[in-house]
Structure 1
């Protein structure tokens, strides 16, 4: 049985942050770190870090801490970074171009193989030496190439139809930047990146902080 099926989504979503901080520690030449020291770096409590990591095995030793290189590699394994993932990008507007030009993805095994758009002004242009193809050829391309992940960077009106083409051609991972919730088969995984929702969350927290400050002033005046 896949052990990760019993792990909460909250823990899984914290793993990339561990991975990022451990990478920076490795770059800085740090070889070993305690859960307390890591908590000061990452912002989680030491207890939370130990609980999260214990979900996947025994990585540290009491009084000895974590070997950063080993822990980094083990979390990379848990995140599936021992594999290479072939991806297609649909929509080469501003967001799509930003995704396509982010070199780090390829360094950790996520390779964009094809880019598609319906804008005739963009078709035939290249992003990092990948030619933008007419979206009408997407289905044919998917049939001829084994693709793991589809990146959707189109309008909300077009997103579901693009998603349907992807899933009909055995793409089982969808990275969705369109501001809409997609309907997919049970065996397809969708990770949504709703930029407006993220911004509104920030707005809410800023507003809550302002209200808290104003309340404190009123309390003092009373």
Structure 2
């Protein structure tokens, strides 16, 4: 296996897609699949699939392909999905509540242990039996509880302060939905989900497709 630090982020971002398709195949009681067959399902080339998986070791066998259950388990382990993660959400407006509901029903080892907000109308609200706490209690909660992931659903002006408190409290990763770039200490992982960036990219492709049709 190669040093994971040297594996490109593009490869890592493709792994959850592989895992999702493998999960669907398991539900259909499919035992094995070739890279060519997987290519037809996912849309990546067979060569790309083999290159991606070879970063982590030889999972396939010549003439046999990939054992779906084994490959699913290997990718789950590579992604760290064989562990459980405790999370807190800061900012429990519509987006924060939607994420809390998603993680609750998805039930994939990511557990929301607390939620925080500054809005008096939201403080005390229970979402999936988790009470929304006053943001002023965040630092105290972080001192008393082990938290792996901080989920930031605040406005951009508050996000950096929130992240500073989460990092000081020992989180190992930040899932950021605030529309701003953040500064994190070394050793804390960051995944940005900029909804407006994604929507703007979609607008580009819509207009590009329209222009191509006009040229036909």
- 2:154 corresponds to: 154
Q: How far off its partner does 1:44 sit?
A: 0.5
Q: How far off its partner does 1:215 sit?
A: 2.2
- 2:92 corresponds to: 92
SS of the counterpart of 1:102? helix
- 1:125 corresponds to: 125
Instruction: Please say if 1:168 is aligned against 2:183.
Output: no
- 2:201 corresponds to: 201
Distance 1:121-1:143 versus aligned 2 partners, 3 A rule: same
CA distance in 1, matches of 2:152, 2:168: 15
- 1:220 corresponds to: none
Q: How far off its partner does 1:190 sit?
A: 0.9
- 1:73 corresponds to: 73
Structure 1 stretches of 4+ moved >4 Å: 103-106
- 2:143 corresponds to: 143
Deviations, residues 10-38 of structure 1 (Å, cap 9, x unaligned): 00010011111111111111111111111
SS of the counterpart of 1:21? helix
Mapped contact 1:105–1:111 kept (Cα < 8 A): no
Q: How far off its partner does 1:103 sit?
A: 4.2
Deviations, residues 173-204 of structure 1 (Å, cap 9, x unaligned): 00000100011112211100001100111111
Mapped contact 1:19–1:75 kept (Cα < 8 A): yes
Distance 1:20-1:206 versus aligned 2 partners, 3 A rule: same
- 2:41 corresponds to: 41
- 1:12 corresponds to: 12
Query: TM-score if structure 2 supplies the norm length?
Result: 0.96
CA distance in 2, matches of 1:181, 1:105: 29
Give ranges in structure 2 of 5+ residues lacking alignment: none
CA distance in 1, matches of 2:154, 2:18: 31
Q: How many residues align?
A: 216
Distance 1:54-1:212 versus aligned 2 partners, 3 A rule: same
User: What value does the CA root-mean-square deviation take over the aligned residues?
Assistant: 1.4
Q: How far off its partner does 1:108 sit?
A: 2.0
CA distance in 1, matches of 2:93, 2:104: 20
- 2:57 corresponds to: 57
Q: Which has the larger radius of gyration?
A: 1
Q: How far off its partner does 1:172 sit?
A: 2.1
